[in-house]
Amino acid sequence: MRPLSAALLLGGLLAGCASAGARSTQSPAPTQAARAASQDTTSADRAQYPSTYQRHPNPPVLIRNATIMTATGQEIAGGSILFRDGRIVAVGTTVEAPADAVVVDGTGKWVTPGIIDSHSHLGVYSAPGTQAESDGNEATNPVTAEVWAEHSFWPQDPQIPLAIAGGVTTIQALPGSANLIGGRSAVLKLVPARSVQEMKFPGARYGLKMACGENPKRVYQSRGPSTRMGNMAGYRAAFIQAEQYIRRWDKWNKDHQGDAPQRDLKLESLAEVLRGNIFVQNHCYRADEMVQMIDLAHEFGFRIRSFHHAVEAYKIADILAREGTAVSIWADWWGFKEEAMDGIPENAALVQQAGGRPVLHSDSESGIQRLNQEAAKAMYYGRRAGIQVTRDQALRWFTANPAWVLGLDSIVGTLEPGKMADVVLWSGDPLSVYARALQVYNDGWLVYDRNDPAHQPTTDFSIGRQP
Amino acid sequence: MIAFLLAQTIAITGGTVYPVSGPKLDNATVLIQGGRIAAVGTNVAVPAGATRIDATGKWVTPGLIESGGNIGLTEISAVQGTNEAFQRVSEVAASFNVAEGINPASTLIPVTRIEGITTALTWPTGQLIAGQGVMIDLDGATVEAMLVKTSPAAILATLSEQSKDEGGGSRAGAAARLRRVFTDALEYSRRRPDYTRAQMQQLAASAADLEALLPVLRGQVPLIVISNRRSDIETALRIAKEYKLRLILAGAEEGWQIADKIAAAGVPVLVQPLDNIPTYDGLGARYENAALLARAGVKVVVIENDTHNARNLRQQAGNAVAYGMTWEQALRAVTLSPAEVFGVADRYGSLEPGKVANVVVWTGDPFEFSTGVEHVFIRGREIALRSRQTELMERYRVLPPKY
């Protein structure tokens, strides 16, 4: 019996040109994928909604004489980067241009890895934002682990090209936070496409959206949960069911006695969390609640990959570092509700200082367009408070660290030979307010060029609506 | 008395001064006396006993003016008990003045002013006519002490998707209703005795609301109209012309499409440069809006309408520059232009002798993320760079905290 994540990898392989999927046979895939492949306890013996992503064919590209920020500790002045067939070939000061390469003059410009947003609602809360596009919260039950964000995702969301123009190459599209357990996330290459399947990052594992605090208890006030203790009881009840579900399947997989247990989409998602195949992505604001959620994870033997929003992460930065849980946060949002009152702009810097893993996320169709600016703000707020933050660390907040949150850090998030060629060319220092993304390469494809209308994708939505 | 005055004398010396009203001055002095700017220049004599602030290598500008939010009127957006900007009584709430709802102890005020924003227009939110906004300095123990002027800075109206319901579900209905309110206000002002004898037809709003509109109809108080769609902006321009209003447009996401027309009407625009998400109320929203309006000759005021993060006014202005405004236009758009638009340019918006001493010393370009605030003066008083947020940071910078 094939485990779910292996099925997805195979889907990528069948697609043929899917560079990440193809690569995963050669370079180490995220470590837990290997572990998952050795387990034989899942309930679905079939490929489920496989990725049909294919790398767009394009010539090799050499960007030369730019300042290259690799997100591996280096900022190379007068540097060059060469990529071919969707992969970075070389980064350094002496890179030869192959005869067939398109050469881009990077003089006075900067190069970074493509931006990764660990928390987006693009496609599930699409523009123009009417009720017709409101597909992010299945707010009909506090636990809807059975819903998948990809089944809501609209590839014609006109917000997608705006995010691409901001240098974003990969997103995690999440269900909303109305529910205790809101459903599965979709990890996507941010490229123009007719279907979400064509965007699904080959081999990427799903995330499971969970939410603490005010939102679920407000939404379910009348039927419950209506309190934070009710929230906790709700998560626990769900995972207890999932444990039982795993036992049922384990038993049947072993003895094949009688009918197979009935598939339950809700419990399957939760079981995959317990098996370590799906990452928990947990919306949680308050420090004390995050500590409760860590206890919950310990009770059921899973790990929370990242807290999201986490405006009070700085209060427990030591605990988060010890747990190895990332925090996906804003630079400076605060005050929109009570659990967000203690947000401070030094949050990322303080988490970094404690040895944690900060991520600058957007949760916003507007903010996703300038995650570099949000990281810059957070870095400089930290420095002004006397907290040492390097430019490389700040860059990692929106590249390598979110890649880790998605389990894709061996594939994207840095500029290193062998990595996927997700590359952004900036008009200036990306940590300046005046910098704009000039070119965005996704898997080596020039998906956006500010100076060339032929490389400025538009969605169907935007066609014929403007004078 | 002399000692008292001297104690209030502050000389900011050696900085690069951007007066906004004139070209930048290198190695210049800004002299503050008694809460006002006494002198600005490269040749200013510093009185003996003045407090000297060395601004060598720093940038000195007027305090920034925020014109897009509800500061003082909101503490926690989702907690209704802390929100004062919206009055539910009527969808024509012209007499609703927000001033007494302002909480001088709001935590948002220190959070905002320590980032160099010293003055704000604080708005009501509402329906067809939301009420009266006021201008405040972000310092003072009482509302009276904070008010920049006692009269309303503007009355706010909306002609957009948001106010259709007040027109029976149609934009045309909303425009017609607005006209009826204005016409009735004029009628009311001519026939007050008839009104008190109840010998007038039913009017389109309460007497208090009609009364409150008279300064708008006399051109004494500007009317801000929030509109985004080009056709709504055109409706606002049309109505303003019919009633000879001092119109200020706000939002104006599609304003760039008719920038020349707005410029020809002499109508200023409050723009949030980072608005670019398409909705049916503004499919043409784009980052270049502020720049294109300014290029056409429109007086642009840059705003940040997230009240909790009014401090990001700097980021809005910086992005306006990234997308085509000149840096000088952007600085003006957050200082002198809002002062002019709201009728306080005689006292605010630039560094000139006689003006209120709202002054900020920055480590560099105020729009850059790398720049911090070194000193903030509001009415000549130096503001401690402390807020609830800085205190939370200090409490938790070493873990575990010492409670």
pLDDT at A4 over 80: no
Report pLDDT for A45. Answer: 65
Residue A6 confidence (pLDDT) above 60? no
CATH-assigned architecture of domain A114-412: Alpha-Beta Barrel (3.20)
Q: Which residues make Cβ contacts (< 8 Å) with residue B240, sequence separation at least 6?
A: B223, B225, B246, B247, B265, B267
Tokens standing for B110?
A: 């220190």
Residue A296 has pLDDT above 80, yes or no: yes
Superfamily of B1-63+349-403 according to CATH: Urease, subunit C, domain 1 (2.30.40.10)
Residue A165 banded pLDDT, cuts 50, 70, 90: very high
Task: Give tens-digit pLDDT for B289-312.
Answer: 999 999 999 999 999 999 999 999
CA nearest to B136, candidates B219, B205, B72, B223: B72
- Considering only CB atoms, B396 lies closest to which of A314, A337, A365, namely A314
Residues in chain A closer than 8 A to B390 (CB atoms): 344
pLDDT of B99-130, one tens digit each?
Answer: 999 999 999 999 999 999 999 999 999 889 99
Most B-contacting residue of A126, A288, A344 (CB-CB within 10 A), to test interface? A344
| CA-closest candidate to residue A389, choices A347, A437, A428 | A347
Structure tokens at A285: 């604001």
Q: Distance (Å) from the C-alpha of residue B129 to the closest C-alpha of chain A? A: 24
Residue B46 or residue A32, greater confidence: B46
Q: pLDDT grade, residue A47 (50/70/90)?
A: confident
Q: Give me the residue from A128, A334, A467 closest to B279, CB to CB.
A: A128
What pLDDT score does B89 carry?
Answer: 86
Count of alpha carbons within 13 angstroms of residue B204, beta-carbon side: 22
- The confidence score (pLDDT) of residue A8 equals 32
Q: For position A46, what pLDDT does the model report?
A: 75
Helix, strand, or coil here: A343?
coil
What number is the average pLDDT over the span A282-308? 98
Strands A279-284 and B36-41: unpaired
Alpha helix segments (H runs only) across B58-147: 108-113, 143-146
Give A394-416 pLDDT, tens digit per residue.
999 999 999 999 999 999 999 99
Q: Which of B79, B275, B315 sits opposite A338 (nearest CB)?
A: B79
Compute and round to an integer the Cα radius of gyration of chain B: 22
Mean pLDDT for the stretch of residues A436-453: 98
Q: What is the pLDDT of residue A35?
A: 40
Smallest CA–CA separation between A377 and chain B, in Å?
5
List of chain A residues whose C-beta atoms are within 8 Å of the C-beta of residue B282? none
Structure tokens at A299: 């009770």
| Range in A252-256, B131-135, B301-305 with the lowest mean pLDDT | A252-256
User: For the residues A25-43, what does the mean pLDDT come to?
Assistant: 43
Cβ A162–B370 below 8 Å, yes or no? no
A&B contacts, CB < 8 Å: 116
Q: Cα separation of B148 and B151, whole Å? A: 9
The amino acid occupying position B75 is E
β-sheet bridge partners, residue A350? none
DSSP H or E stretch at residue B314: helix B313-322
Beta-carbon separation of B318 and A434 below 8 A: yes
Q: How far apart are CA A61 and CA A76, in angstroms?
A: 18
A9 neighbors A48 (Cβ within 8 angstroms): no
Least-confidence region, from A8-17, A218-227, A283-292: A8-17
Q: In chain B, which residues touch A (CB < 8 A)?
A: 75-79, 108, 257, 274-280, 283-284, 308-309, 311-312, 315, 318-319, 321-323, 367-372, 389-390, 392-393, 396-397, 399-401
Report the C-alpha dihedral over residues A228, A233, A235, A238, rounded to 10 degrees: -160
User: At residue A2, does pLDDT exceed 50?
Assistant: no
Query: Are residues A344 and B319, on separate chains, in Cβ contact within 8 Å?
Result: no
Q: Is the pLDDT of residue A460 over 80?
A: yes
- pTM of the entire structure? 0.94
Contact B79 A332 (CB under 8 A): no
Amino acid in position A274: L
Q: Which residues contact A31 (CB under 8 A, 6 or more apart)?
A: none
A78: pLDDT strictly greater than 60: yes
Q: Which of B369, B397, B398 to mutate to test the interface with A (most CBs of A within 10 A)?
A: B369
Token pair listed for A119: 């928390």
Q: What does the pLDDT look like over B178-233, one tens digit per residue?
A: 999 999 999 999 999 999 898 888 999 999 999 999 999 999 999 999 999 999 99
C-alpha–C-alpha distance, residues A161 and A460, integer Å: 11
pLDDT at residue A19 in the model: 34
Element (H, E) at A353: helix A347-353
Spell out which residues of chain B touch residue A342, defining contact as CB-CB under 8 Å.
Answer: 392
By the 10 Å C-beta count (0-12 exposed, 13-18 middle, 19+ buried), A462 is classed as middle
Distance CA B296, CA B128 (A): 29
Could you write out the DSSP letters of every residue in B251-297? E-TTGGGGHHHHHHTT--EEE-TT-----TT-TT--TTHHHHHHHTT
Å between B92 CA and nearest CA of chain A? 26
**Mind listing the pLDDT tens digit for each residue in A231-250?**
999 999 999 999 999 999 99
**pLDDT tens-digit map of B52-97:** 999 999 999 999 999 999 999 999 999 999 999 999 889 999 999 9
Beta-strand (E) ranges in B75-172?
117-122, 129-137, 154-158
The fold of B64-346 is TIM Barrel (3.20.20)
Domain boundaries defined on chain A: 114-412
Which position has the token pair 């510093």?
Answer: B46
Q: Tens digit of pLDDT for each residue in A326-346?
A: 999 999 999 999 999 999 999
Q: Which helix (H) or strand (E) holds B329?
A: helix B327-333
Of B77, B278, B367, the CB nearest to A337: B77
Residues of A in contact with B280 (CB under 8 A): 128, 130
Q: What is the domain partition of chain B in residue ranges?
A: 1-63+349-403, 64-346
- Quick one: angle between helices B207-217 and B171-190, nearest 10? 90
What is the rounded distance in angstroms from the CA atom of residue B312 to the CA atom of residue B181?
37
How many residues can be counted in chain A? Answer: 467
B77 vs A335: CB contact, 8 Å cut-off? Answer: yes
What pLDDT score was predicted for residue B200?
A: 87
pLDDT above 90 for B271: yes
For residues B288 and B283, what is the distance between their CA atoms, to the nearest angstrom? 14
- The more confidently predicted of residues A29 and B127 is B127
Residues with Cβ within 8 Å of B169's Cβ and at least 6 positions away in sequence, in order, are none
Whole-number Å distance between alpha carbons of B159 and B247:
13
- Span A139-165, mean pLDDT? 98
Residues A19-31: b if buried by 16+ CB within 10 A, e if exposed: bbbbbbeeeebbe
From chain A, the residues in CB contact with B322 under 8 A are 433-436
